[in-house]
Every structure is written in structure tokens, then in C-alpha cells.
């Protein structure tokens, strides 16, 4: 059956588009259905999953598919692939809540008419649907009219003026001889304003030369058609310039006359140009946006790693040509992870955005700041006069980052560790410069953070030493090189040892005795804390057996617990099994945790610590007052002991002075009925001040340094001999298997 062609006598039948709505969320699907139902000329069909959608597409024709990308049984991309593979004539509007650019790129590549992000704006959705259907209406109308175009000049005029593209002709001088009404709809120029005028009145000034070349190149025959993208000016200044893809074809006349046999029978005479201009402004903007997001970090709007390497490569080429220097910086934000874990990822993202703005404000014109990954940034400083320029910028970075950050009422402080590599001294390739700047940055971190350092070849050796240390640490457990040392905790009034803190040491085969601070950070970074902590529990229980056999079962042992170890669900079982195996009274064990453990995963931490307390093990807060958390956790968590951090104790220089932080901590402990221990006591003045203000238990170099088990046993033996009568032992508590 032939399609009905609109004519003045035969009105076009009403276009009743059929729409397929696909969404697995019933509430959203119902809302979308009701929104479109009021458009009474729409025929609506719904599907709640991919299978239903494919079945509907196979059964009947649809003009438009409104598609959610995330479905329970397949992705929206799969459905679009089904449509394309079977050449189903159906436009697709994608609606998705996914934030990633990959989803949008995938939809556009598969031919989506438009991409709307959830939650969508109902008027915008209705407009998009209407535009898509309008496009189909025009296509249907153009097809119908095209079949009768040869028989009716009126049908020809209808087709041209209803086209979604601008159709025009130029004479041999480049002046308009015809242009359809689409020019007025898009550009705001009426046909009367353009007929007889030169095409250059529409072309953007920067594209005039390109237009002059293609419009004046008078191709004929198979070379007659060519394409060019041009920006055209709009009559309405608010609309701005728009980009069009112009398909041009030379119009020529054949002059046939008398001829000598064997010579040409026709002569082509240039008559003008026929052109079709399609508005691709929205497509160009989408392409520009996709290209921009492919090379920029979405969170900070800074260049990403790909674009940074490209710019660094160009800077290296330029520096090599000019025999100049350039600097590459690697910046890592100190304490960012703590802020992120404490306040959450939303505040962490806000901190990164604020930090990026501050860093960007410090740069010179021509410098490039990029987000490398996480809380790391990279910078290239081209045309470096000398290293003093790089040092000055690094100093400025540190200055602006040390100023407080306000995250919706949360005031936080961070700093930065900055490594600097200079071309060509520290490398002449992108990879070398970045790697050496990274090594210099880690050197700053190893020296206490909050600083900057230029790369030096000796740092490479130190980096290799760290790798060697990590490899040796993996063998330390197998070779029985780890050992527990003990720092006694003393009752200041009597001088008696009433407890001890277990501290790990490593008897390194070549470097000698290493403290925990020299190797445990490597263990944390390389996933070795779990086996090391397992070893520590066993070692402590074995040593406790020796204590108890020597009559010191009233001495409490404190052990430091790694956050990684507490996060493991089997920690409690391992502790309980160890106490059962070695027959150690739980009351003799005190587990020390830091404040930040309480805020990493509060509910889980509460559950684990409550289990310990039910077992009979007590819990102490180590380094109290140095974390970000509030005091509310003291009520929520089963805490028995507070340990005053040595950084506060060091401030005591006058036993008659006033140290409000110390007094506040003592007051908190007294008010909550908690045991109190002061760490890092090194002077008599500190001891007398603490004792006078209510802290009786202390540990520090004033009393004892951390000592090996044999020496600690000698201390306990000497104390037992000096005490008559002997102190009563701490009663053992039975552990239920």
C-alpha cells in the first residue's frame, strides 16, 4: 500500500506516536507514564526489565524508546545494541542516574537521540520527547512528499520548507538565490533579508577564509559534492553563533552544440552552488564536553593524568629546544585520609576542591596543575630560571595549605609533602621526572611530612633500602627475628611497677635493633600487620606465663592494637583462643586503641570492644586528645583507661605552672571514673605536677626505658624481694570455651 501524501485536497493523517517506557523502578515508571499520558495522542507501552523491552520491540513498532540504563537483567546499552543490530527504526532517549561519563559516551555512540540525567526536569523531558517525535514527523512528512516531488512544485516547496536543515542555492557570484524557511527558524533571518545578498553576511569572521575556499572551488561530475563545517551568525545576538555542517554541490549546465567527431560533446559551465546546512551545534557542544571530561578531573576541574603527561611532554620538548630547565612537583596532602575517614567522603571531596583552588591560585601563567589520583597532585613549571623559583612556589603551596579549611562548620588543618624533580638534571623523560619527584615526596614523608625536597640521586638508594626492608620484614617472622620489649608503668607514690606496655622490636640481621616506628609503617602499607599481630598475641601470652610463674600475676599487660587488626572479624576469636590456650586471666590484659579507631567504623568497633569487655579484657584509649573525634565516644565505647599523650606531658616545665589540656584530661578521667596513665614522663618536675593534680600512674624514661623480657623479669624479681609481705595476686577469671 502506498503511503498517503499530503496535498491541499487530502489532509495528512494525525501522527500518533507509540512510545515504549523502560524502567525497573515502579515508582519512576508510573511517574513517567502519568507525565506522558496527558499527551492524549501518545500510545504508551511499559516494560520493567530488559526481557520485556526486547519482547515488545520484537512484537510491534515504536517511534520512541525512553530507556533506563541500569536494569536488573541487562544494561540499556544491550537493548540499544539489539535495536541497532536489527535495524529497528526507533529513536532512543536515555534516562540514567549514573554519574560516570562512560554511560553517556556509550549511549551517544550507540545513536541515542538525547541523554537525560536522573532526576530529570519534567518540562525538559516533555520538550525532548516532543523534539524527537517532531524529528520523526518531519522525516515521515519528507518521505511522503519526496515520492510525489517530481509531480508537484507545491510538494517540492513543502518539502524544502519543512526540512530540519537549511537548504539554499547560490549563484556564480555567491549570492543567495533561494533559501528555505528553516533559516529564519534557526538563524532569525527571513528569506527576503537574504535573497540577493552574499553568503559572507552569514559566515563567522574566523571562518570566512575557509568558506571562500570551498564556495569558490568549482568542482563538477563525481567531485561536485563536498562538506565543510562553518559557524553562522544569528540575527538574535542572544542566540549566539551556531555551527553547521554544509553539504555543497556545484550546479552546472551542459552546453551541447556542433562538434567535430572525436572531440568533446559537452562543455560544463558553472552556474552556482546547491547547499544543505545541518545544525550540529548541540552535537559539537556534546563532543567538546565529552572531550573535556576525558582530559579533566570531574571533581576538581583540573587536568587529569593523561592531559598532564601531554603538557609535560610538550614542556620537555620546548625546554630541550631552548636549553632551559623545568620543574615537576609531586604533592601529597598530609592528614587527608584522617579527615576523609573522620568526616566522610563528601567533606573529603570538598577539601580536595578547596585545596585545588588554593594551589591553582599560587601558579604562574603557563604552569599546569593536575590531579594525579586521590589526594595527590602534580605540577609542571616550564621555563624555570633556577631552583629558587620552584622553591618559592613550594613554600607558597605549604603556606596556603596550612591555613585552616572550613568544611561546613568543621575546621580542619592539613599540610603537604612536596617532591621536586628538575629537568634535565633529574631526568629527561616524563616517566623519570615523575618517578623522581615521587621519590623526593616520599622522602619528605619519611622525615615527618609538611615540607618539600628536591630529588637527589641518594634518594634512589634510600628507596631501594625501603624495598629491601619490606622484603626482609616478610622473612622476619619466619626467622624468629621479632621480639617483645616492655616499658614498666609505675605508681608514682610507691615506685612500684603495676603494669607494662608491650612494644615490638626487630632484631634485624644487619641493621641491629629496630623500634616499632621504623618498620610497622611498612607493615601497615604492605599488608603485613595481620600476621605480625597474630605473632604478637602469641608472644605476649608466652611471656605472661613467665611473669606469672615468677609471682607477678598482678601486673597488667597493655598491648597496642592495629586498626587493620581490629577491622578483621576474627580478632576477638583469636584473642579468646590465645588466652584459653595459655591459661591467661583476661583481667591481666589491657588492649590499647587510638581515638581514630573509634571513628573509622564506630558501630563495628563498639561490637568488637564489647566482646572483649565481656571476656574480661579492659580497653585503654592511647594518645588521648590528639584525634579529631569528639568526647561522645567515651560514653558510647567501653573504655576503662585514658593514656595522656606524651606531646602534652612534654609541655610541663614548671610544677607550679598551669597546663589546661593536662588538667582537662585528668578532670575527664576523674568524672567518668576511668583509670589514668601518663606517657613520656622524663623529668621529676613532670612527675610531681602530674601526681599533684591527680595522675598517679606513669611511664617514661624517668622510670624505665623499654627493656627486654629478661631485664623486665629482673625488675619484677627485685620488686618481689623488696616487698614484705608479698602483694596479693590478681585473681584469675575463668574463660568459657
Query: What is the SS3 assignment for 110-146?
Result: CCCCEEEECCCCHHHHHHHHHHHHHHHHHHHHHHHHH
CATH of 163-288, one of 1.10.274.10, 3.40.50.300, 3.30.365.10, 3.30.450.20: 3.30.450.20
pLDDT tier, 246 (very low <50, low <70, confident <90, very high otherwise): low
Q: Among the residues of 550-632, which ranges form H helices?
A: 563-567, 571-582, 597-600, 602-615
Q: Cβ contacts of residue 477 below 8 Å, gap of 6+?
A: 531, 532, 535
- Per-residue pLDDT, 678: 94
- Tell me: the pLDDT tens digits for 663-719? 999 998 898 899 999 999 999 999 999 999 999 999 999 999 999 999 999 998 888
For residues 521 and 499, the model is more confident at 499
Is the pLDDT assigned to residue 610 strictly greater than 60? yes
CATH of 18-143, one of 3.30.1950.10, 3.40.50.720, 3.40.50.980, 3.40.50.2300: 3.40.50.2300
For residues 356 and 212, the model is more confident at 356
- Per-residue pLDDT, 40: 64
Is the pLDDT assigned to residue 229 strictly greater than 90? no
- 3-state class (DSSP) for residue 621: strand
Average pLDDT over residues 94-119: 85
Q: What is the CATH number of domain 485-722?
A: 3.20.20.450
- Per-residue pLDDT, 462: 61
Is the pLDDT assigned to residue 48 strictly greater than 50? yes
CA distances from 93 to 26, 70, 107, 589, 633 (A): 19, 14, 9, 64, 50
Confirm if 162 and 218 have CB atoms less than 8 A apart: no
Beta strand 707-708 with 482-491 is antiparallel
Average pLDDT over residues 63-79: 91
For residues 719 and 569, the model is more confident at 719
Place of cell 598491648: 559
Among 7-16, 400-409, 716-725, the least confident range: 7-16
- Tell me: the pLDDT tens digits for 417-442? 999 999 998 888 999 999 999 888 88
Among 185-189, 268-272, 700-704, the least confident range: 268-272
> Cell for 212?
571562500
Determine how many CB atoms are found less than 10 A away from the CB of residue 159.
Answer: 21
- 3-state class (DSSP) for residue 591: strand
Question: Which range, 37-41, 218-222, 241-245, 632-636, has the best average confidence (pLDDT)?
Answer: 37-41
- Per-residue pLDDT, 403: 92
- Per-residue pLDDT, 726: 44
Q: Do domains 297-462 and 485-722 have the same CATH topology?
A: no
For residues 146 and 561, the model is more confident at 561
- Tell me: the pLDDT tens digits for 336-347? 887 887 788 888
Average pLDDT, the chain: 81
Share of the chain above pLDDT 90, in %: 33
Q: Which sequence spans correspond to the domains of the chain?
A: 18-143, 163-288, 297-462, 485-722
Confirm if 202 and 188 have CB atoms less than 8 A apart: no
- Per-residue pLDDT, 608: 80
Average pLDDT over residues 188-204: 83
pLDDT tier, 218 (very low <50, low <70, confident <90, very high otherwise): low
Beta strand 18-22 with 43-47 is parallel
- Per-residue pLDDT, 263: 47
Average pLDDT over residues 621-631: 64
Topology classification of domain 297-462: Alpha-Beta Plaits (3.30.70)
Average pLDDT over residues 12-37: 84
Q: Among the residues of 418-456, which ranges form H helices?
A: 430-446
Average pLDDT over residues 85-95: 90
Amino acid at each position: 500500500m502506498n503511503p498517503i501524501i499530503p496535498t491541499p485536497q487530502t489532509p495528512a493523517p494525525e501522527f500518533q506516536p507509540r512510545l515504549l517506557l523502560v524502567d525497573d523502578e515502579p515508582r519512576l515508571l508510573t511517574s513517567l507514564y502519568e507525565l506522558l499520558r496527558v499527551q492524549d495522542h501518545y500510545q504508551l507501552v511499559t516494560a520493567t526489565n530488559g526481557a520485556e523491552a526486547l519482547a515488545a520491540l520484537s512484537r510491534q513498532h515504536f517511534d520512541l524508546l525512553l530507556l533506563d540504563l541500569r536494569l536488573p537483567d541487562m544494561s540499556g546499552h544491550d537493548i540499544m545494541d539489539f535495536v541497532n543490530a536489527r535495524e529497528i527504526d526507533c529513536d532512543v532517549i536515555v534516562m540514567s542516574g549514573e554519574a560516570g561519563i562512560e554511560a553517556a559516551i556509550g549511549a551517544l555512540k550507540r545513536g541515542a537521540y538525547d541523554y537525560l540525567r536522573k532526576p530529570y526536569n519534567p518540562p525538559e523531558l516533555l520538550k525532548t520527547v516532543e523534539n524527537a517525535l517532531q524529528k520523526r514527523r518531519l522525516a515521515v512528512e519528507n518521505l511522503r512528499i519526496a515520492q510525489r516531488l517530481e509531480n508537484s512544485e507545491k510538494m517540492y516547496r513543502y518539502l524544502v520548507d519543512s526540512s530540519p536543515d537549511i537548504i539554499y542555492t547560490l549563484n556564480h557570484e555567491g549570492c543567495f538565490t533561494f533559501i528555505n524557511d528553516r533559516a529564519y527558524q534557526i538563524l532569525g533571518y527571513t528569506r527576503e533579508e537574504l535573497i540577493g545578498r552574499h553568503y559572507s553576511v552569514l559566515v563567522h569572521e574566523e571562518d570566512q577564509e575557509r568558506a571562500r575556499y570551498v564556495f569558490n572551488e568549482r568542482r563538477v561530475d563525481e567531485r561536485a559534492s563536498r562538506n565543510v563545517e562553518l559557524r553562522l551568525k544569528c540575527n538574535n545576538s542572544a542566540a549566539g553563533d551556531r555551527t553547521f555542517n554544509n553539504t555543497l554541490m556545484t550546479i552546472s549546465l551542459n552546453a551541447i552544440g556542433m562538434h567535430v567527431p572525436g572531440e568533446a560533446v559537452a562543455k560544463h559551465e558553472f552556474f552556482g552552488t546547491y547547499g544543505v546546512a545541518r545544525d550540529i551545534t548541540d552535537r559539537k557542544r556534546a563532543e567538546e564536553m565529552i572531550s573535556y571530561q576525558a582530559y579533566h578531573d570531574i571533581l576538581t576541574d583540573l587536568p587529569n593524568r593523561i592531559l598532564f603527561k601531554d603538557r609535560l611532554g610538550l614542556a620537555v620538548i620546548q625546554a630541550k629546544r631552548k636549553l632551559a630547565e623545568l620543574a615537576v612537583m609531586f604533592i601529597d596532602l598530609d592528614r587527608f585520609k584522617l579527615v576523609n575517614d573522620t568526616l566522610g567522603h563528601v567533606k573529603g571531596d570538598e577539601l580536595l576542591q578547596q585545596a585545588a583552588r588554593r594551589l591553582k591560585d599560587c601558579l604562574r601563567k603557563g604552569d599546569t596543575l593536575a590531579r594525579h589520583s586521590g589526594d595527590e597532585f602534580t605540577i609542571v613549571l616550564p621555563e624555570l630560571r633556577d631552583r629558587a623559583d620552584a622553591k618559592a612556589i613550594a613554600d607558597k603551596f605549604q603556606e596556603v595549605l596550612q591555613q585552616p579549611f572550613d568544611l561546613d562548620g568543621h575546621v580542619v588543618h592539613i599540610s603537604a609533602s612536596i617532591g621536586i624533580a628538575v629537568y634535565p638534571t633529574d631526568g629527561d623523560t616524563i616517566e623519570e621526572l615523575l618517578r623522581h619527584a615521587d621519590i623526593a615526596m616520599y622522602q619528605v614523608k619519611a622525615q615527618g611530612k609538611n615540607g618539600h625536597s628536591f630529588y637527589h640521586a641518594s634518594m634512589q638508594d634510600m628507596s631501594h633500602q625501603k624495598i629491601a626492608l619490606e622484603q626482609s620484614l616478610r622473612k622476619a617472622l619466619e626467622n624468629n627475628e621479632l621480639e617483645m620489649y616492655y616499658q614498666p608503668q609505675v605508681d608514682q607514690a610507691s615506685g612500684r611497677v603495676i603494669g607494662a606496655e608491650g612494644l615490638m622490636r626487630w632484631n634485624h640481621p644487619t641493621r641491629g635493633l629496630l623500634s616499632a616506628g621504623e618498620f610497622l609503617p611498612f607493615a601497615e602499607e604492605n599488608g603485613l600487620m595481620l600476621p605480625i599481630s597474630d605473632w604478637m598475641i602469641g608472644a605476649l601470652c608466652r611471656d605472661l606465663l613467665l611473669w606469672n610463674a615468677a609471682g607477678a600475676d598482678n601486673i597488667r599487660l597493655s598491648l597496642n592494637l592495629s586498626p587493620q587488626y581490629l577491622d578483621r572479624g576474627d580478632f576477638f576469636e583469636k584473642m579468646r583462643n590465645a588466652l584459653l590456650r595459655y591459661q591467661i586471666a583476661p583481667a591481666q590484659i589491657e588492649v590499647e586503641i587510638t581515638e581514630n579507631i573509634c571513628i573509622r567504623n564506630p558501630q563495628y568497633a563498639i561490637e568488637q570492644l564489647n566482646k572483649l569487655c565481656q571476656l574480661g579484657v579492659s580497653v585503654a584509649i592511647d594518645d588521648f586528645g590528639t584525634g579529631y573525634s569528639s568526647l561522645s565516644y567515651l560514653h558510647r565505647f567501653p573504655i576503662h583507661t585514658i593514656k595522656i599523650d606524651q606531646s602534652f606531658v612534654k609541655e610541663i616545665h614548671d610544677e607550679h605552672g598551669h597546663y589546661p589540656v593536662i588538667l582537662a584530661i585528668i578532670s575527664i578521667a576523674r568524672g567518668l571514673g576511668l583509670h589514668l596513665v601518663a606517657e613520656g614522663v622524663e623529668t621529676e618536675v613532670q612527675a610531681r605536677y602530674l601526681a599533684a593534680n591527680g595522675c598517679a600512674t606513669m611511664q617514661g624514661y624517668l622510670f624505665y626505658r623499654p627493656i627486654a623480657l629478661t631485664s623486665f623479669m629482673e625488675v619484677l624479681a627485685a620488686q618481689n624481694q623488696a616487698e614484705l609481705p608479698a602483694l596479693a595476686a590478681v585473681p584469675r577469671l575463668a574463660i568459657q570455651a
